[in-house]
Amino acid sequence: MTPTYHHGDLRRAVLDRAVEVIAEEGPGQFSLRSLAADLGVSHAAPRHHFGSRQGVLTALAAEGFTLLAVALQSARESGGDFADVGVAYVGFAVAHPSHFAVMFSPTLLDHGDAGLAAAQELTFAELRGGVRALEAQGRAADPAAAVLAAWSIVHGIATLALSGSLDASALRTDAAEDLLELTRRSATLLFRPDAGRPP
Amino acid sequence: MTPTYHHGDLRRAVLDRAVEVIAEEGPGQFSLRSLAADLGVSHAAPRHHFGSRQGVLTALAAEGFTLLAVALQSARESGGDFADVGVAYVGFAVAHPSHFAVMFSPTLLDHGDAGLAAAQELTFAELRGGVRALEAQGRAADPAAAVLAAWSIVHGIATLALSGSLDASALRTDAAEDLLELTRRSATLLFRPDAGRPP
DNA sequence: AAGGAGATCTTGTCAGTGACAACTTGTCGG
DNA sequence: CCGACAAGTTGTCACTGACAAGATCTCCTT
């Protein structure tokens, strides 16, 4: 693992603090210098581990994709259907909003980074696995449309929730803790439409 | 309208140039100073119209919500069903990626701005209208889940497309110009599942 | 036809930031 | 014990956003 010289584990500390700051102020606002000050190290110390500000965000995104892949895999291996995996997707987003925001902000990331590409591939492989399951069940006569619909509906819920649009739109009356339950019902609607139709 | 004193219409010019810069570098990168230099005015000139950098982004978001509301209204009044309105939503996002990116980045905006709130309300009213149409058609036994599913699926497609995730994920084999057609098929899948099922 | 009021823009300045270079300190293996 | 290298510090530079004060232009009133 990472050595523990002067600070202990500065790399880990920087990532953890970045998560906090991004959750409060957004990915575009946090500064390496104030972050270093928070940790009690010099303003150039983080640079030694990440190279640049973009390097910090890229490392954070890579960590996020790894965590998301694990969450999705766990939901699938528990025998979950599409709704379970979808709830896991949204659950990850609300549990790790800073990671999620960075993961899908391409202008903030270094897409040539090998660690990021590897972590992304973990998540995308998991998504592709979900497609094949749908095809095998004969639920997807139009696989391309089915996978786009599946990914988009959970990704859309996650981004709308994190952007605050659901609260601002007055479309939701539920409390925040009901988001996952509402996600389940919406996801179920996609491939089991009978559940949402009048009898 | 806006007066045309020295520059002509600096407010309009700043917004137009901001759209270009954000499309190239993202909302977090563009600077008021280089933007002013591009337009041949002093570094403090834009500040007089917008107050701050956040003011520029807020004005851009308000403009975006107005444009989106018009696009959705137009699609609906043309007798379009949910798929048509959904295609219009995604079509707006790919036609105005800079606006769209700013509109749903809450940390960049001043949510106390009256113009922004008014423009948001235009869009949200259009969305609520879509809900009532679904209910009236008896397609939504679970209205809350139905509207979340509807909004999320088109919003998810838009954000995934703009973030480049669709290309990177190797889930799509279609070219970029097929995105709207694929959107139509995915949207149709939600409330007319028979279209996507094996015979 | 002044002339004043106010909007528009400029100049000057300040603190904060990211990147970079050179240097110091600490750790570990031979 | 010492050399190689990782970890962190200090110093610096160009750039940025915000602010203040002054200059310029337009229009409306008298």
Cβ contact B106:A164 at 8 Å: yes
Q: Which two tokens stand for residue B62?
A: 């308000």
Global pTM value: 0.93
Q: CA–CA separation, B191 vs B65, rounded Å? A: 26
Confidence band of A3 (pLDDT split at 50, 70, 90): very low
Find tokens 């953890």 and name the residue: A16
As a whole number, mean pLDDT of residues A102-118 equals 96
Residue of B155, B169, B193 with shortest CB distance to A159: B155
Closest CA of chain A from B8, distance in Å: 32
pLDDT of residue B198: 47
CA angle A142, B185, A182 (to 5 degrees): 95
Structural domains of chain A sorted by starting position, each given as residue range(s) with its CATH number in brackets: 1-51 (1.10.10), 57-190 (1.10.357.10)
Nearest CA in chain A to B165: A104
Answer left, alpha or beta for residue A142, where phi above 0 means left and psi between -120 and 50 means alpha: beta
Q: CA–CA separation, A169 vs B133, rounded Å? A: 17
Query: B145 and A174: CB-CB below 8 Å?
Result: no
Q: CA–CA separation, B61 vs B55, rounded Å? A: 10
Chain B contact for A155 (CB, 8 A cutoff): yes
Strand D CB-contacts below 7 Å: A 2-3, 5-7, 10, 36, 41-45, 48-49; B 3, 5-6, 30-34, 43-44, 47, 52-54
Q: What is the pLDDT of residues A63-89, one digit of tens each?
A: 999 999 999 999 999 988 999 999 999
- What is the C-alpha radius of gyration for chain B, rounded to an integer number of angstroms? 19
> Alpha helix (H) ranges present in A78-113?
82-95, 97-103
Q: What is the pLDDT of residues B61-111, one digit of tens each?
A: 999 999 999 999 999 999 889 999 999 999 999 999 999 999 999 999 999
Through-space separation of residue B44 CA and nucleotide D11 C1' in angstroms: 30
Q: What is the pLDDT of residues A165-184, one digit of tens each?
A: 998 887 765 555 589 999 99
- DSSP at A112: T
Q: CA–CA separation, B158 vs B156, rounded Å? A: 5
As a whole number, mean pLDDT of residues A136-141 equals 76
As a whole number, mean pLDDT of residues B159-178 equals 78
Q: CA–CA separation, B158 vs A110, rounded Å? A: 22
pLDDT of residue A177: 56
Q: CA–CA separation, A6 vs B160, rounded Å? A: 41
Residue-level length of chain B: 199
Query: B144 and A189: CB-CB below 8 Å?
Result: no
Determine how many CB atoms are found less than 10 A away from the CB of residue A43. 13
Q: Which two tokens stand for residue B176?
A: 């970029």
Buried b (16+ CB within 10 A) or exposed e, A127-141: beebbeebeeeebbb
Instruction: Please tell me which residue, A21 or A6, carries the higher pLDDT value.
Output: A21
Count of helices and strands (H, E) across chain A: 10, 0
Q: Which two tokens stand for residue A13?
A: 């500390």
Q: How many CA atoms lie within 13 A of A139 on its CB side?
A: 19
